[in-house]
Amino acid sequence: MHIPAPVLNPPFNVTRSSHVVLTVRDLDVSRTFYTDLVGLVVSDADRETVWLRGREESAHHSLVLRKGATPNCQRLGFRVLTDDDILKAKDHFDSIGVPAQIVDVPYQGKTLHVRDAIGMPVEFTSSMPFRERMFMAYDQYRGAAAQRIDHWQIQAQNVRRAFDFWHPLGFRTSEYTYSEVPGGGVDLWGVWMQRKGNPHDQVFTNGPGPRLHHFAYLLRDTADLMHACDVAGALGLGRRLERGPGRHGISGAMFIYFRDPDGHRIEMFNTHYQNIDLEPPIGWSLSNPKRADQWGMPARAKWFNEATVFEGAEPVEPDLAADVPTLEKFLEMTD
């Protein structure tokens, strides 16, 4: 058993991954990318910021684009159930010596800023203004018609350290990748962690970190996923498709990955599973290639190597030395 039992009574109640705040260089170009290709809805916009949400989302924003000279990820946001959970979170972080500030953020209720154990800037918020769910305005669907934010994936310089920070906060592990260490024990290469009852709210994988590898929106179905590719082609963005369409082993999702105009990576996917019951996490040996791809070819090196830097967090090399199974190596081996 490589993963400890889940913490059922965490110090405060995180309910789900909620939003991503990105710096982008050209607000108009990025806005068009996210509305016309990804299919998000604009909740609000001013000269410096665009707030977007998925077709079905009633929370004000799941993606915030902020104009800036240097593309990065400013912050990742979690939702907690009530204002009271923000106070409990503050108490918790104070008690373990993690700096935490309650701050004012536009279109958000009580919000708490923290950096996690690998240096990733996050915030917790208890509420946002409601906006009408737009998922039945089918005549307004565009591109992938992304329905809602689901999760993000982080490159961690030390996956175990990230795990040890988030596990006590009630994040449960659905799946993980490991390798046996000669002499006993395992190295942890990736952990898929969740609060909302499906395979993941956030994922940590080994790599130069902390970096945001990708954030992910749920699509309705395969038809929308393929339509997104076709729309990308029609918009002249066909080369921005960096990986996929494909099918993961871990989580079972059908996926595509695009790079946005600043190189931020967005996954759009469909069909993973419900994970509410208490059940043992699924361990994948690092040597099993089907964890990544059930069919087709592996991801190209760029997919493994490039990621978005977090504001105020210089990435460092990972503690585990990775030998990444890239498309480039695959092509050489199977020539």
CA–CA dist 320, 178 (Å, integer): 11
CB closer to Fe ion, 165 vs 204? 204
Q: Which of 5, 98, 223, 297 binds Ca ion (CB under 5 A)?
A: 223
- For every residue of 167-189, DSSP letters joined together read GGGTPEEEEEEEEEPTTS-EEEE
Q: Which of 52, 191, 216, 232 binds its own copies (CB under 8 A)?
A: 232
Number of residues that bind Ca ion (CB under 5 A): 1
Give the closest residue to 306 by CA, choosing from 286, 334, 326, 329. 326
Q: How far is the CB of 82 from its own copies (least distance, A)?
A: 7
Rule CB under 5 A: is residue 216 a binding residue for Fe ion?
yes
C-alpha pair distances (Å), 208 with each of 217, 288, 304, 319: 24, 22, 10, 9
SS3 of 44, please? strand
* Sole window of 147-155, 166-174, 187-195, 239-247 interacting with Fe ion (rule: CB under 5 A): 147-155
Rule CB under 8 A: is residue 259 a binding residue for its own copies?
no
Rule CB under 5 A: is residue 103 a binding residue for Ca ion?
no
Residues 125-144 contacting its own copies, CB under 8 A = 127-128, 130, 133, 135-143
CA–CA dist 76, 238 (Å, integer): 28
Q: How far is the CB of 56 from its own copies (least distance, A)?
A: 4
267 binds, among its own copies, Fe ion, Ca ion, none (CB under 5 to 8 A by kind): Fe ion
CB atoms under 10 Å from CB of 126, counted, come to 22
* Sole window of 12-20, 103-111, 157-165, 215-223 interacting with Ca ion (rule: CB under 5 A): 215-223
Rule CB under 8 A: is residue 29 a binding residue for its own copies?
no
CA–CA dist 198, 94 (Å, integer): 30
Rule CB under 8 A: is residue 239 a binding residue for its own copies?
yes
Rule CB under 5 A: is residue 267 a binding residue for Fe ion?
yes
Cβ-proximal residue to Fe ion, closest one: 216
Phi and psi angles of residue 18, each rounded to the nearest 5 degrees, phi first? -120, -45
Query: Is the sign of the CA dihedral 62, 68, 71, 76 positive or negative?
Result: negative
SS3 of 246, please? strand
Q: Which of 5, 29, 96, 297 binds its own copies (CB under 8 A)?
A: 297
User: What is the binding site for Fe ion (CB under 5 A)?
Assistant: 153, 216, 267
User: What is the binding site for Ca ion (CB under 5 A)?
Assistant: 223
